[in-house]
């Protein structure tokens, strides 16, 4: 009897799960549900937002991936009793359900953020930011809030596009940028941003955002023509809507096999409360590891999940320059981390869509040029 496995969300974790499961040659019928027609390489979306990369170069149509049925729909609910996912195109049955819903942006309750800033979490966001930038004078002030990977990479790309004399400010409430990196790399990133015309304010906690002014807790303020909020994510609210108990970040508690409290329902990536950072690297490994475990279960075996191994952090700072750590000891800046990040993205695209797609990406060509259709949102998970 063929086991019906349904995956909610075509982000890194969902696609990695499906690809690895197909490689295991398990007797399964896999269905992917996502509201978008494409998988988006979210680690590169900041380049689209700055206008330095075409959106088609980081989109892979699900229709071009083999081995599973794809349904483009919004998920509206879950009925564990009948084992049905409720969607805008009707119910979808499952024997095993994988929650790979990704994250959604969060404003942390700061007044005015939703009304007066743009957020960067998916392709729609990136295109909105790009269009706003295109309509601004060259000296119009731009503020990027968030000194993590997304904010730093976006600020660098905007600086690269607009020139060293442009008016760009990167704001971070913590004492340093890129807290996951060593101090020498934090300082190197800050110098690079300065060379690109980005003014960096650390230790600047935002109290509220008005229409064209960001106010800080110390009473100071900063004007902007465009403000981008890149201050983190939380789990997709669908998890709580499914009736699953969640942690403070909206993630589902899971056991050592990534099982939730619901029968035969698993969660991974940003959907699972595992203590791992919300990164593509973690979601990718979890998806592949879970696929191996479930394939073994279908053969009547129990295979423990391999632990996720965080192999370092690579930060793109524009024009083949980056900073990064490889493991715990090797810290590097310049050409090497930039090329390594590009190679990592190409490797992922090879896994997701094959060698031709990976090669096209590496040389800056559209990876989904043959596909028709129009993406809806393209945030990770796409629910």
pLDDT at 383: 61
| Residue 310 or residue 45, greater confidence | 45
The predicted model gives 253-265 an average pLDDT of: 97
Instruction: Name the segment(s) of the chain with CATH classification 3.50.50.60.
Output: 113-229
The Cβ-side half-sphere exposure at 374, using a 13 Å CA radius, reads: 2
| Predicted TM-score (pTM) of this structure | 0.91
Which residues, including other chains, have CB under 8 Å from residue 95's CB and lie 6 or more apart? Answer: 3, 4, 5, 83, 264
Q: Which two tokens stand for residue 87?
A: 């969607």
d(CA 119, CA 365) in angstroms, rounded, equals 26
The predicted model gives 150-165 an average pLDDT of: 92
pLDDT at 363: 79
Q: What length is written for the chain?
A: 383
Mean pLDDT of the chain: 91
The predicted model gives 19-38 an average pLDDT of: 92
CATH number of 113-229: 3.50.50.60
d(CA 117, CA 114) in angstroms, rounded, equals 6
- 137-to-48, 81, 134 alpha-carbon distances in Å: 19, 57, 8
d(CA 192, CA 323) in angstroms, rounded, equals 10
Phi and psi torsions of 48, nearest 5°: -65, -45
- To the question of domain 3-104+233-310+341-362 being in CATH 2.170.8.10, the answer is no
Residue-wise pLDDT for 298-316, tens only, equals 999 988 999 999 888 999 9
Q: Given pLDDT bands bounded at 50, 70 and 90, which one contains residue 362?
A: confident
d(CA 98, CA 259) in angstroms, rounded, equals 9
For the chain, where are the alpha helices, taking DSSP H only? 12-23, 45-49, 113-116, 123-134, 149-162, 183-195, 238-241, 280-298, 335-353, 355-362
* pLDDT at 145 exceeding the cut of 70: yes
Residue-wise pLDDT for 106-123, tens only, equals 999 999 999 999 999 889
Cβ contact 34:15 at 8 Å: no
């Amino acid at each position: 009897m063929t086991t019906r496995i349904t995956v909610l969300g075509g982000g890194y974790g969902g696609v990695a799960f499906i690809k690895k499961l197909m490689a295991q040659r398990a007797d399964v019928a896999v269905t992917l549900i996502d509201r978008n027609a494409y998988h988006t390489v979210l680690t590169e979306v900041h380049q689209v937002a700055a206008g330095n990369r075409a959106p088609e170069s980081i989109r892979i149509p699900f229709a071009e991936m083999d081995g599973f049925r794809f349904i483009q729909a919004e998920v509206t609910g879950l009925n564990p009793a009948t084992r049905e996912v409720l969607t805008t195109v009707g119910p979808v049955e499952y024997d095993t359900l994988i929650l790979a819903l990704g994250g959604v942006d969060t404003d942390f309750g700061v007044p005015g953020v939703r009304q007066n800033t743009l957020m960067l979490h998916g392709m729609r966001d990136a295109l909105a930011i790009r269009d706003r930038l295109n309509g601004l004078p060259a000296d119009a002030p731009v503020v990027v809030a968030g000194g993590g990977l997304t904010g730093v990479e976006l600020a660098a790309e905007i600086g690269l596009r607009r020139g060293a004399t442009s008016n760009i400010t990167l704001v971070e409430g913590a004492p340093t940028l890129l807290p996951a990196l060593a101090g020498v790399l934090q300082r190197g990133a800050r110098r690079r941003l300065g060379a690109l015309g980005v003014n960096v304010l650390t230790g600047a906690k935002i109290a509220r955002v008005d229409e064209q002014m960001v106010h800080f807790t110390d009473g100071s303020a900063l004007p902007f023509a465009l403000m981008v909020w890149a201050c983190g994510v939380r789990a997709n609210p669908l998890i709580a809507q499914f009736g699953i108990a969640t942690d403070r970040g909206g993630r589902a508690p899971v056991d050592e096999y990534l099982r939730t409290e619901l029968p035969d329902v698993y969660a991974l990536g940003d959907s699972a409360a595992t203590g791992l950072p919300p990164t593509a690297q973690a979601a990718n490994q979890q998806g592949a590891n879970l696929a191996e475990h479930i394939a073994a279960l279908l053969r009547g075996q129990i295979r423990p999940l391999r632990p996720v191994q965080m192999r370092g952090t690579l930060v793109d700072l524009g024009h083949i320059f980056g900073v990064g750590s490889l493991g715990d000891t090797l810290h590097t800046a310049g050409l090497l981390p930039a090329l390594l990040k590009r190679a990592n993205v190409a490797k992922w695209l090879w896994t997701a869509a094959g060698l031709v797609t990976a090669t096209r990406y590496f040389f800056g060509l559209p990876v989904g040029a043959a596909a028709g259709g129009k993406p809806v949102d393209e945030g990770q998970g796409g629910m």
